[in-house]
Amino acid sequence: MFQAINHIKIQFLPILFFLFLVSSQTLGESEKENVSCSILEKGVPMDYLLSRGFQEQADAYQNFGRGRQDAGKKSLQESVSFLEKFHICREEQKEGPTYLSSYSLALNYLELGDINSADRWSDIAYRIFSPPSVPTKESILLRARTLREKGDFAGAIGVLETNHFDFPFDSQFLGSLGDFTYEAKLWNKSLLYYTSLLDTIIKREGNLDPKIRAKINRNLGDLNYKLDYPKKARKHYLEYLDFAKTDMEALFSVAQIDFLLGDFASAKKYLNRIREINPRDLEASHMLGEIWFIDARESAFAYFEILNKEKKIPKEGVIRYLYQILTGDTSDLEEKLISLSAKNPNRLSLRIALQEVISVKDPKRKFKAYTEAGQIAFQLRQYVTAKNSFQKALVLAKKEESLSGNISLILEKISYCDENLGNVHHAVLNVRKAISEAKTEEGKNAHEFRLAYLLSNSAVKKYDASLSVSGSLIAKQPSYAPYYYLRGLTYLQKENYKAGLKDFDKAVSLEQNNAIYLFYRAMAYDKLNDFPNAEKDLLLSMESNPDGSNTYNYLGYLYAEKGIKKDKSLTYLKKAVELEPDNAAYLDSLGWIYFKSGHLKEALVYLLFAENISTARDAFDPVISDHIGDVYHSKKDLVNALAYWEKSMAKTENAKEKIKIQTKIKSANKELSE
C-alpha cells in the first residue's frame, strides 16, 4: 500500500517548539505570558515542560534512527511525562491543551502502542480547530491513522473524506484514502483514490520517483484485477514490472490475465520468465503445462518431457493425468478425471482432458463432456476454446439422432462465443441457423428474441429488422413483457421516443414493479420533455430497486439540470456514487450539482475524479471536460477553463453542443484580452 503517513521527520522535531512560539496565533492559541504552576519550582515557566517534551521526542527519533530502540522508547516515555505535566499546568490556568502539545502527545502514544491514549489526544488535536477554521493536514492525517490503528476504518475514511475538499490534490490524502479503503475492502473507492493519486503525483507534483509510481501501479493492478478490468490490470502490472522486474507474484498475475484474455503465447512468455528466475517454481511450471495442453497439443509433449526430467510431474493429479494423455496411456484415467473435476469444477484443462478420454462409443457422455468444457471455457472467457468445444458437440449432435434436439441450443452457444469475440455478424448467422433447427415453438421464440437483440446491436444497426422480429414475437405472445421491453429499446435507438414509450407502457402494465422497465419508460418521457412523468417513474423505480444506482443518478442529474430540488438532487447523486464510487458518469453528475449549488471546491474535486476514471478506462467524455471548464471559469481561472473547453470541443460530436462550447471559448478569450 501507499504509506502516506510516515514517522515524523527527525530534522523537524528540534524546531517544533520554535514553531509553537511563532505560530500560536495561526493555530488558534492566544499569546500568554510564560507563567509557572504548582508542580514546577518557583520561577520556572510551564513552557519549559513543553520544550522538554519536544526535545525528548526529538531524541527518541534520533535513537530510533540509530537503531537504539530501547533508548528511543525511553525518550518517548519521558516526552509523554513532560507533555502530560504541561497539560496539568494548563488546567491550573483554566486552559486546554495546545494544538502542538496534544498532537505531539498523540504521536508519542501511537508510537508507544497505547492506541486508546493516542485516540484521545489525536481527537483533541483535531477538534481544536472549530469551524470555520480548517484543521491542519497533519492533525487530520494523524487522526485518521489513529482510527485506522483502532480498526475503525469507517471513522478513518470519514475523517479524510470530510476534509479532502480542503486538500484536493494532496498525495498524502489520496494515498491514505487509497490505503484505508483497500484495507476496508472498498475496492471501487480504493481504485478511484489510487487512480487520482497517480494522476496527482505525475501531473501536479511532478513526482517521477519510480519507487512511488511502482507501488501505486502495483495497487492499481491488484484492484483492476479484483474489479474485473483485466486489460487495465495488465497495464498497471507491466508498469510496475518495469521497476520490479523479478516480482514473481506480479509476473504470475500477468500470466493469469493473459490466459484469461486468451493470449496463450504471452502467458507462456511470463511463465517462462518465472521459471528462469526460480527454476524450482512448481506453480508456474504446472500452469505452463496446462496452457501447452489446451493451446498447442502438438508441442505439449516436448514441454511435459522437460517437466519429467525436472522431476516436476507428481505421481497423481492434473499434470500427471495430462502427461498420461500425451503419452497415450489413458487406461483407468476417465474415473480419475471425473473425480478430480468434481473437486475442481472450473479447472479447464481437466474438462478438455475429460472430453478426450471418454469413448466415442458413448456419444451422450461424450456430448456432455464437450458442452461442459465449452461452458467452463465460456465462463473463464476463453471464447475460442469454448467455441471449439461447442463445435465438436455440434458435429456429434448432427451425427447422432438421439442428440439432434440439442443442435439449436449449441448453435446459440456458439453465437454467444462469436458475439464476445467481436464477430456479431457471425453471431447473427448462427442464431438464424438455431431458429431453423429449433424443435419447439418455445425454443424458436427464445432464439428469435436473441436475434432481435443482436440485430439492434450497434455493430449491426439493423433496427428495422429487429423491430420486425420483436413485432412477430409480440404477435405470438402478446402478454410477454420482455418482448415489448426489447422493442422499446430498439425504438429508443432509432430516436422514435413515442413508439418506445408505448412499448414501455405495455411492459410496465404487464410487470408493474419492474424497476428496469420503469427506468426506461422514464427515459422515454424525458426525451419527450415530459418531466413530471419521468420523475414519477424514476421514483417508482427507486422503490422497486433501492440499489439502482443509475436511477439515482438520472433523477439527481435531471434535478440539477433544471435547477430544482437541489437538496434532493445532492442526496440522490451521493447515493449513486456511494453505490458505484468509480463510475465516471455518476462522479460527473455529483460534481455538476455541487457546481449548480455554488460549491466550486467540491465540484472541482468530483469532476476531476470523473476525468481521472474516464481517462484511465480509455473512455474520454467531452461532457466532463466541458463541466470542468465551467467550474474553472467560475473560479476566474480562464486559462484552465479554455484548456478544458478546447479539449471538450475536439471530441464533441453534437452540433448544438459544439456551438455552445464555441461561444464560451470566444467569451473567455475576450475576457483574457481585456
Look at residues 400, 399, 401, 377 and name the one whose alpha carbon lies nearest to residue 390: 377
Contact between residue 572 and residue 559 where contact means Cβ atoms under 8 Å apart? yes
Q: How far apart are CA 251 and CA 235, in angstroms?
A: 12
Contact between residue 64 and residue 72 where contact means Cβ atoms under 8 Å apart? yes
* Buried residues in 121-155 as b, exposed as e (16+ CB within 10 A): bbbbbbebbeeeeebbebbbbbbbbbbbeeebbeb
If you average pLDDT over every residue of the chain, what do you get? 93
H/E element, 51: helix 47-65
Contact between residue 183 and residue 151 where contact means Cβ atoms under 8 Å apart? no
Classify residue 363 by burial, with Cβ atoms within 10 Å: 0-12, 13-18, 19+: middle
- pLDDT band at residue 20 under the 50/70/90 scheme: very low
**Residue spans per domain, the chain:** 1-150
pLDDT at 131 over 90: no
Query: In sequence order, what are the residues at sequence separation of 6 or more whose Cβ sits closer than 8 angstroms to the Cβ of residue 667?
Result: none
Provide mean pLDDT across the span 551-562. 96
pLDDT at 29 over 90: no
Q: How far apart are CA 604 and CA 592, in angstroms?
A: 9
Provide mean pLDDT across the span 529-550. 98
- pLDDT band at residue 34 under the 50/70/90 scheme: low
pLDDT at 674: 79
Provide mean pLDDT across the span 457-465. 96
> Which 8-state DSSP code applies to residue 14?
G
- pLDDT band at residue 23 under the 50/70/90 scheme: very low
* 216-221 own/partner pairs: CB under 8 Å, 24+ apart: 216/2, 216/178, 217/243, 218/244, 218/250, 219/1, 219/2, 219/178, 219/182, 219/190, 219/194, 220/191, 220/194, 220/195, 221/250, 221/253
Classify residue 670 by burial, with Cβ atoms within 10 Å: 0-12, 13-18, 19+: exposed
Q: Could you give the percent of the chain with pLDDT greater than 90?
A: 90
Fold that domain 1-150 belongs to in CATH? 1.25.40
What does the radius of gyration of the chain's CA atoms come to, in whole angstroms? 33
Extract the C-alpha cell encoding 386.
469454448
pLDDT at 36 over 90: no
* Buried residues in 182-208 as b, exposed as e (16+ CB within 10 A): bebebbbbbbbbbbbbbbbbeeeeeee
Provide mean pLDDT across the span 3-26. 37
| Residues 307-356: tens digit of each pLDDT | 999 999 999 999 999 999 999 999 889 999 999 999 999 999 999 999 99
Nearest 5°: the CA angle 95, 101, 107 is 140
| Residues 74-85: tens digit of each pLDDT | 999 999 999 999
Per the listing, cell 498497471 goes with: 236
**1-5, 230-234, 611-615: least confident range:** 1-5
pLDDT at 389 over 90: yes
Sequence-ordered alpha helix ranges (H) in 248-382: 248-260, 264-277, 282-295, 297-309, 318-327, 333-343, 348-357, 363-379
Provide mean pLDDT across the span 291-309. 95
- pLDDT band at residue 621 under the 50/70/90 scheme: very high
pLDDT at 228: 94
pLDDT at 469: 98
Written as one string, the DSSP assignment of 344-382 is: STT-HHHHHHHHHHS-TTSHHHHHHHHHHHHHHHHHTT-
Residue type (1 letter), 443: G
Longest CA pairwise span in the chain (Å): 109
pLDDT at 203: 85
Q: Could you give the percent of the chain with pLDDT greater than 70?
A: 95
Q: How far apart are CA 74 and CA 58, in angstroms?
A: 12
| Residues 478-511: tens digit of each pLDDT | 999 999 999 999 999 999 999 999 999 999 999 9
Contact between residue 649 and residue 665 where contact means Cβ atoms under 8 Å apart? yes
pLDDT at 12 over 90: no
pLDDT at 15 over 70: no
Dihedral of the CA atoms 82, 88, 89, 90 (nearest 10)? 110
CB atoms closer than 10 angstroms to residue 179: 26
Contact between residue 627 and residue 607 where contact means Cβ atoms under 8 Å apart? yes
Q: How far apart are CA 305 and CA 322, in angstroms?
A: 12
**What is the dihedral sign for C-alpha 257, 263, 269, 271?**
positive
Written as one string, the DSSP assignment of 135-160 is: PPHHHHHHHHHHHHHTT-HHHHHHHH
